[in-house]
Structure 1
Amino acid sequence: YRERNAMLLAIKEGIIAVNKEGAVTMMNLSAADMLNLPEPMIGRHIKEIMPGANLMPVLAGGELPPNVEVRAGDKVFILNVKEMKQTGQVYGAVISFREKTELKKLINKLTEMKKYSEDLRAQTHEFSNKLYAILGLLELGEYNEAIELIKEEYAIQNEQHEILFQNIHS
């Protein structure tokens, strides 16, 4: 029992369990917080808490597709429902949900990381090209040109770093 409670408290997703009639039998604190409830609303009907969830067909043995968008108040949630069965009979359901805006933030962060990775790859490729150019000049004995290319690149790098350090503060 303690482990179950600790696990429900640790889960960031909202979790609500309902019986066959749709009455809430369990709700974690994350669910209450996301739904702006003062506390878990045990015993209340799910229609009062999440009117747009349309869970009654699931409790009657139907199915709900995964990742359904449901509006509750001023928030939109991504909802998943799993029916609870015993000896082939549905006796309730477990609802898990997350705010859609939170998922969008995660997707945006992932997109930023992907772009950052692509930028680093391009920068590495460009740096390799400059090293090959310097190597070619050295192999041809064009030492002064190689030195000038290195000096130019060093000046460009210093200028870019100065701009960054002056405009972006820790």
Structure 2
Amino acid sequence: MAVNTNALFFTTKNFLPAMLEQNKGHIVTIASMAGKCGVAGLVDYCASKHGAVGFNDSLASELYSLKKDVKTTVVCPIYINTGMFDGAQTKWPTLLPIMEPEFVVDCIMEAVLTDRAFLALPKFSYIFMALAGLLPTEVISLYGDHFGITHSMDHFKGRQSRRA
């Protein structure tokens, strides 16, 4: 929580006043698809990333109400090949790849330069988010099973499984 959520408050408090004074700027929140849906074995991580998404959504709303030209982008990738999630696997790597950091950075830069408020990576993630908002939880769980999301952390090397 300290890094994924609390650090957003402290960092923004330091940079936002100057952006507001100049009436320009862009705040990028690196969240995760785990901030939009739960993942087995990552309860604490998902909760902190939900906090990051909520922080960005609230900040964007506040900036809009102030009529300031300070933009926000929240980035929600799935796994990035940084070593943080070594051993994590997806059942369909063509649709849900473990992405290279350089690719993610390029996508973030494009999102910032085009003032996109939300970026999900890979693009297939947008379909999951749309379905998650429309379908019952039981159906979403079956979807997670089919695409290997439910068990993507079963071979995670960073810690022992925390599943109940």
Same fold (TM over 0.5): no
Higher relative strand content: 1
TM range (shorter): under 0.3
TM-score (norm 1): 0.22
Normalised TM-score (structure 2): 0.22
Of structures 1 and 2, the one scoring higher in RCO (CA 8 A, sep 6+) is 2
